[in-house]
Chains A and B, each alone.
Chain A
Amino acid sequence: MTAISLEALEQSLALMEDAEIINRQTPDGLHFTFIYIGTIIDQERLNESIMEPLVRSFQSSVEKSLITAKITRLFNLEQALQDLLKGSVLVHDSSSGRWNAILLPNSLSRSIETSETETIMFGPKDSFSEQLEQNILLIRRRLPLTALKTERYTVGSLTQTTVVLMYIDGLINPEFVDYAKNKLSSIDFDMFLDSSHVAAFIEDHYHSIFPQYLQTDRPDSCAHSLGIGKLVIFVNNTPFALVAPITLFHLFQSPEDYINRWLVASFLRPLRYLSFLLSITLIPFYVALTTHHYQMLPLQILYVIIESRSKLPLSPFWEAFIILITLEIIKEASLRMPTKTSQNLGVIGGIVIGQAAVEAGFASKVLIVLAGISAISTFLVPNYLVTKSSLLLQFMFLIFASYLGIPGILLGLVGMLAHLNGLTSLNQPYLAPVSPFYWRDWVDLFVRGPLHAMSIRPDALRPLNKYRVSRRRK
């Protein structure tokens, strides 16, 4: 630890254009030195709430002059620099020789906006922003509990990113909290610019293509997760919070499920699973049928496919491979382009290129139709990361289908399920409540049962307080 001094601070802040060192004198002749970084503090508040009261004061110390401010006494240079970089103003009192820090961060942030990644028709519209405190506020508003605990960590040797672990004490299984704390404490890396960077360091299987933390920018979704016995991790400067432990099935649940009528939601949820399955197996199925199992097609459909493929120079595998790659190029391009241009690109890519490919004899009409269905199916899955994962799976199944036909697709499915069965999120099984089997949790799995039937929190999470209704509380 280095002793704090004006010379040491000046040396540290050398060549920092936005660093300010200001000296002021009170009517009583006391000298105060203010050190701060102009770009990260609220300068208006500094003038109004700190400088003016202090300089005009007749009190003998900073603490007595600024009775409403939260003042932290500083003892070493490292602490002083850390506070300075977090948005504090350092105040040196020449009479006592003390160094104090007053936190005045610049609250520059975008306002609370509607979530763009998890849009819903009805229900709460607010979403998280890049400001950590604001995000915590949105949760505290929804869960006004003293049991809602927050623990702070700093990660990243360069970014010094604040990470907040949030959970409901007395409800969540303490095993999860301990595991997350251990993981967060053991992080050793220089930069954390997004919550996904933190997730990469705390997830159990970083080679897997499946996300083991749910990233969401919806406060209502986070509050619900906390309420059923999960924990939430907030990372400063990112609007996406991490929710854990999760299962594969959580990635198919949308906040809208709990807003819709339960019968409607129960119809839509299986549709998402089906869409996911279609998105990864529809094209491989076409390849398997046209390469190995023509006999499976009824005569009328067979005529259509044969007519459609009769002049194609490519095998079904290469035909599908080229179309899928083209489709992905168009999808990626439309993501990177300005909104209006991307709409045009979608039309050009989807209709013009598709039509041209058919006319040029590079692809069959049937494949274009299937590729379209497959592409649209991916968007039914509410989680963007799963959508991206399905792309790789599709290519894997395509290779299996081209060599081994339908048994190849089944081999791939078993392999994928075996992989998923071995995955864990926060050391909890990824396929719960199917494997391990918790039959009571099935009320909110493939269908969304009525809320009245969900009086017990998920068994798979093993919460300390199982019951969601007060009359059954033990």
Chain B
Amino acid sequence: MRAISLFRKTSQQESGFYALFLTNRLQMLHYMIVMPTVLVQPYMLWVIVVVGILSQFCLYILSKWFASPYPAQGCQGFEKLFGKTGIKILALVSLPFLMLKISFISVSYADIMQHFVFPSMDREWHIVFPIILSCYLALFGMENMVRFVTIVIIGMIWILFLYIPFFLLPSNSIHDLYPLVPIGPEPFAWKSLLLVFSSLSGPEYLIAISYWLSPQRKMLKYLTIANAISVGEYLFISIASLLFYGSNYLPTIKYPSVEMGRYLQSPIFERVDIILISAYMFSIIYLLALFALMVYGASRLLGKAKKGTSRLGLIVSGCAMVTCTLSISKWFWEPGIEQTFWLELQMWAGSSSYLLLPLLVWFAMKRKARTTS
């Protein structure tokens, strides 16, 4: 296998926009899969706003990392901060998190695809094809991957506009969005809080690719804009589904944002949801490719990092992804208890990584600053 430079960096381009787009895509990854099933009452919309503010706190800490000199040094920066053993431990811990995220996204998406588009086709094929394509995309290297996010944004931005007609229905009433304050003693929905927080998670993975994002001091601005857009998008879709289904009917639907697509009509097409689900593949493939490179990078850190990168190494990482995802899909993804288990596991894993990883990096920087002074 010819040695290729998957992790090289050639240009010093201003990359605030990439951070903005990446943060937004990472945060919007789950919108079709889980949202807004948990936010069934109008007053729960506040959960999105509150969690958005909490997410902003995580992004603020993340921006401290970007403003530090470490990200620009790449792997050496991490080495200085955590030491060689520390990096290996971090890589080892991050692998299960990455694999879980990859598997959860892939199987959930394949589930949607099978349910809405190709009921006759095995779910496993819907897992294999996107992962193969994501490996192809990843083969162009991290630098190309990072900038590809602009195309993903262009490929998906229009989806949001499809939900506008749901706000214009004659049957809509502002009263459908009441009560905005819970009436009487409602049980505090920890789970919905956690689920929304895990849905907004993902920007913590920017730490791993910060070297290619040409860190800068203005990063907080871009991260804040991205977070605000993501919160806005979640609110937009949640309000649309609340208006369309009503708070009584909404909890009975598994994929409300996808189902809504079924009701869209145009003079040329019905069942617009098929196009909508297919277009969602842009995000899925892109983020799978990004995670594939991260899995390969983490496994290199655990093994012989000094050796050059190779296509074979990335393909092996892709195979590991396929194996892990197919195993979960084949044997551990029965509707009901098992599916809920994976959702809860991802919810906890996503939330904890989003909260703890920026904090860990921040503490490490503080400790380093103290020891050097």
Interface residues of A (CB under 8 A from B): 292-293, 295-298, 301, 404-407, 409-411, 413-415, 417-418, 421-422, 429, 431, 434-437, 439
Contact = CB atoms under 8 A, between A and B. Distances in A.
B281 A411 contact: yes
Nearest to B285: A414
A406 B154 contact: no
B151 A422 contact: no
A309 B144 CA distance: 44
A409 B275 CA distance: 10
A437 B117 contact: no
A406 B133 contact: no
13 contacts: A295-B271, A297-B270, A404-B129, A405-B118, A406-B275, A413-B155, A422-B140, A422-B144, A434-B151, A434-B154, A435-B149, A435-B151, A437-B150
B140 A415 contact: no
B13 interface: yes
B279 interface: yes
B275 A429 contact: no
Given A421-B147, A437-B17, A437-B150, 12 more contacts: A293-B274, A295-B271, A296-B269, A405-B117, A405-B274, A410-B282, A414-B281, A435-B144, A435-B147, A436-B147, A436-B150, A439-B17
B18 interface: yes
Given A407-B278, A434-B154, A298 B267 contact: yes
A301 B118 CA distance: 22
Contacts of A431: 151
Nearest to B267: A298
B268 A406 contact: no
B195 interface: no
B136 A418 contact: yes
Contact of B150 (A413, A415, A418, A434): A434
Contacts of A436: 11, 13, 147, 150
Contacts of A439: 17
Given A301-B268, A404-B129, A296 B274 contact: yes
B82 interface: no
A42 B267 CA distance: 70
B348 interface: no
B133 A414 contact: yes
B270 A421 contact: no
B321 interface: no
Given A295-B270, A407-B278, A437-B17, A414 B113 contact: no
Contact of B133 (A292, A298, A415, A429): A415
Contact of B268 (A292, A298, A421): A298
Contact of B271 (A293, A409, A435): A293
B137 interface: yes
Nearest to B282: A414
A404 B277 CA distance: 13
A297 B267 CA distance: 9
B342 interface: no
Contacts of A421: 140, 144, 147-148, 151
